[in-house]
């Protein structure tokens, strides 16, 4: 059970929590950069393919100056997409984000285990154990350049947190405030992507049939553009692992709720029982983070990379 009734500042807990906030802030910054550029590359790729199609159509109608201008713009956008993909959206940057995020979660878990003297902190010198384990984590991530935490990094430190507060914050709070809302959001993105792919496939069939009937060449390039659009949407969704995250988050939420419901049979749990619950909860969260780490650490397949536009350049 937590011994945080004293008003004396717990420097061990504070040190661990500052490391959590430091690595969490760094991970958010890296992820923000990845997300922004992934969207930009997606837009550049589609816009470049669209202008290439328009350029070919303009050439078909004898508008050569317009065709050359559109072709040049298409080439510029596709070059920007390729450059950004090679310089910013690298596997190394994504691996750094994954490691940083995983380290942040580990620091946070250690802080909660220490607070309730659970797991490795159940016996012996808990403070010394925490310093040792935090130092080991820092040694394994010493190659990561972090962003210093804000001056108020300890404002949400769980010092003095009751066991009931832990359940609300770390279990039901995680389920209702993070896992289920995120799973719902990602599932919606997946469904929209599938609906868009279905609609684009339908349009492609119609255009292909119309082109075969009318023998007009310009419909062919539009069919190719739609194919690029469909493939790009699929690659964008796949690169973000939305489907995996939906299943993973729903599964973790169910396990947390089951753990909480099973523990509710204790009307007045002892300190040892509380420690066991905290250890099981943190172990469950650690397993989810480990599975997430393994999934995202896998090399991207060809389908997870934005495809080259299936249209020919003019000029």
Ordered per-residue pLDDT tens for the chain, 315 residues: 444 444 578 899 999 999 999 999 999 999 999 989 988 988 898 888 888 888 877 777 778 888 899 989 989 998 998 898 888 888 889 889 999 999 999 999 999 999 999 999 998 899 999 999 999 999 999 999 999 988 888 888 998 899 999 999 999 999 999 999 999 999 998 888 888 888 887 787 777 776 666 555 666 777 777 877 887 787 777 777 888 889 999 999 999 999 999 888 887 888 889 999 999 999 999 888 888 777 766 766 544 444 444 433 332
Task: Identify whether 148 is part of a domain.
Answer: no
Q: Does residue 94 sit within a domain?
A: yes
Per the domain annotation, does 153 fall within a domain? no
CA-closest candidate to residue 110, choices 130, 136, 135, 132? 130
Q: What domain range is 223 assigned to?
A: 11-143+161-304
Residue 310: inside a domain: no
Question: Residue 218 has what pLDDT?
Answer: 62
Within-domain flag for 156: no
Number of domains in the chain: 1
DSSP state string for 213-234: HH--THHHHHHHHHHHHHHHHH
What interhelical angle do 11-60 and 91-115 show, nearest 10? 150
- pTM value is 0.79
Per-residue pLDDT at 4: 44
And the tokens for 25? 């802030």
Does a structural domain hold residue 36? yes
> In this predicted structure, what is the pLDDT of residue 211?
63
Give domain status of residue 211, yes or no: yes
**DSSP letter at 299?**
P
According to the model, what pLDDT value does residue 268 have?
84
- Give domain status of residue 249, yes or no: yes
């Amino acid at each position: 059970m937590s011994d945080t009734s004293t008003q004396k500042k717990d420097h061990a807990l504070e040190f661990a929590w500052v490391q959590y906030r430091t690595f969490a802030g760094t991970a958010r910054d890296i992820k923000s950069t990845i997300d922004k550029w992934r969207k930009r590359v997606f837009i550049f790729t589609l816009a470049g393919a669209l202008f290439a199609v328009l350029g070919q159509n303009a050439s078909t109608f004898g508008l050569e100056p317009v065709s050359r201008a559109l072709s040049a713009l298409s080439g510029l956008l596709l070059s920007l997409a390729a450059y950004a993909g090679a310089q910013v959206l690298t596997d190394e940057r994504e691996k750094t984000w994954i490691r940083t995020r995983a380290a942040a979660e580990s620091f946070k878990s250690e802080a909660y285990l220490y607070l309730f003297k659970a797991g490795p902190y159940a016996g012996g010198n808990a403070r010394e154990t925490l310093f040792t384990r935090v130092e080991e984590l820092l040694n394994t991530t010493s190659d990561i350049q972090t962003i210093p935490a804000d001056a108020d990094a300890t404002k949400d430190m769980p010092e003095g947190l009751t066991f009931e507060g832990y359940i609300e914050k770390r279990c039901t709070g995680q389920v209702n405030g993070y896992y289920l809302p995120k799973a719902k959001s990602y599932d919606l993105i997946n469904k929209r992507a599938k609906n868009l792919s279905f609609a684009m496939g339908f349009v492609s069939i119609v255009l292909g049939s119309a082109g075969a009937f009318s023998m007009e060449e310009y419909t062919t390039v539009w069919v190719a553009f739609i194919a690029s659009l469909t493939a790009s949407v699929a690659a964008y969704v796949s690169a973000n692992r939305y489907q995996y995250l939906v299943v993973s988050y729903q599964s973790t939420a169910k396990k947390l709720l089951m753990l909480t419901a099973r523990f509710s049979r204790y009307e007045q749990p002892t300190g040892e029982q509380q420690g066991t619950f905290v250890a099981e909860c943190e172990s469950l969260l650690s397993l989810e983070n480990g599975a997430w780490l393994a999934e995202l650490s896998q090399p991207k397949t060809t389908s997870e990379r934005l495809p080259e536009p299936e249209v020919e350049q003019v000029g």
